[in-house]
A and B are shown apart, each in its own frame.
Chain A
Amino acid sequence: MKKFLMPALLAIFLLWLMFFSDREKPAQVKTLAMGTLVDMTLMGLGGQTNHRVVQDAMTHLRRLETQWHPDRSAEDGSALLADMNARLATAETVAVPAALVDGFSQAAAYSRSSQGLFDPAVGAVVKLWGFHSDESFPQAAPSDIALSQVMPTQRFDQLLQQSAITGSVGMRLDFGAFAKGLVLQEVSDAVQAQYPQASFLLNGGGDLVAVGQHPERPWRIAIRHPRQGGKFLALIELQDGEAAFTSGDYERYFDITNSAGETQHLHHILDPRTGWPAQGTQSLTVLHADAGLADAASTALFVAGDDWPAVAAGMGVEAVLRVAADGTLEWTEAMAARAEITPNGQGQVLKPLLRSLP
């Protein structure tokens, strides 16, 4: 019998290897969600666990997406914000659902710190323009009269009192400039809490959250050039737990010719002060450890135009890169230490203008 020992041991060992060992290999999932293509690459937990965790993360993400969608109806009551909007529009006072309380208070804080340049209260304006839908899009700007009727009278942080909001006819809350960051951050936090040793890159249609370490080198990302599709503006190495969010005027937009014969580039980032697409910026990128803040700040700073450094200081973001309407590059000290500008078409590396925060 001794003779059988070695082959038997060998066989058992190899069978064990085949069926129970979980060799490391990154798992990737791409899915259409949050009005864009979401892509998550995760590693560090072993092949099968990696795969399961990304699948679970996407399920989590879809659940949060439904909660924060301003209009989607769900029969099981999971569309918390949409249900709330339906009641607010009939001037009811509605308590914020428990699952949204945290996000609402963060949004109120950003609304205050950005002095209303980020404001979820402008949901009805977004809807009037028609930028809220994945399916349809505006062909013309709304009339001034229609716009004046839906402009909110109070900023979001003024609306939110003791975790409740008093509605008014036609009111619609839209967290479009914040929900993606919030959802990516929540999904990322949930994965990190359960699997501290996981490394992953969560890409929500170009907005990124990086966690942990890429196995061979730092996470490396490129910022897209706002006017030269397929070209890069800058390269950045993301740190553990850092998010990169860019607001740009080059994707959701339409061009119209006004009565004076000029072409107007009307995009989806609306200035809450005027109800019109914000002018003065082509794209603006923010790096921050909190994806929700990075998302809200990239929108608010985009809207701020040339005055963005003051808003950045108010909101507590330091790393900012901006392409102004005339193509001028601007950045902060913190961004200059991180980003490397890529050569332009002529092979020159343009040095951005350094703007210091007040």
Chain B
Amino acid sequence: MRTLILAVLFLTARSAAAMEKPELVKLLAEIDDRQRNGGDYKALVYLEQKEKDKADVVREVLVYRRDADDKLMLLFSKPKSEEGKGILRLDKNLWTYDPGTGKWDRTTERERIGGTNTRRSDFDESRLAEEFEPSFGGEEKLGKFETVLLELKVKEGFDVAYPVQKLWVDKANHNILKRQEFALSGKLARTSYYPKWQKLFSQSKNAELWFPGEIRIFDEIEKSNSTLVLFKAVDLNALDQNMFTKAWLESKSR
């Protein structure tokens, strides 16, 4: 019996130690690849922000992605007061548009989306392997799920909302279940949970596309604040060729 326990401990330790950097990078690349679509991507997303002593912020937003060209656009559809507002990523530029003023403004990765605690990266294609250096943080159990803990640090030259992250990745199917994001100072800013992962066959990719059906974000600075992100529908049909332009976004409210 004692030998058996020692053997199990040895194997566990060996498997923990076995996650070397190349394997971790491969794991990140796999996470990215599963969520990347070869063609276009459109999603209808529900956002709900709860803050203490404030009315809930509720939004519906359309997310458009063309992963091959690293393009992203968010277009708010509900409530009426938000309709037509948008966010457009072109190269390294992040633009916001307000049809009420007709103005485009340059913004940053740290900008909150629609008054919620979400950032551009919560809706964009996953670029973990490109943007972060991983290291192995051990293995942990999250509820009934066995997970691998990855510690990530942003690579030089990349502008991201949170430069340090911890990821709890489901050992069974390599989905992210939990994410903690830290400021450069080391202060924990957000804890996010991904309790629903959905997969859809993509013709353009000729493989399955994975996306989180639900994200629950808990604010670690203002502890009483939380955000719910629900992906209500995903459409993989081809988008207009000229869609990711200022002119197209403006036209939606003209």
Chain A partners chain B: no
**B interface residues, Cβ below 8 angstroms from A:** none
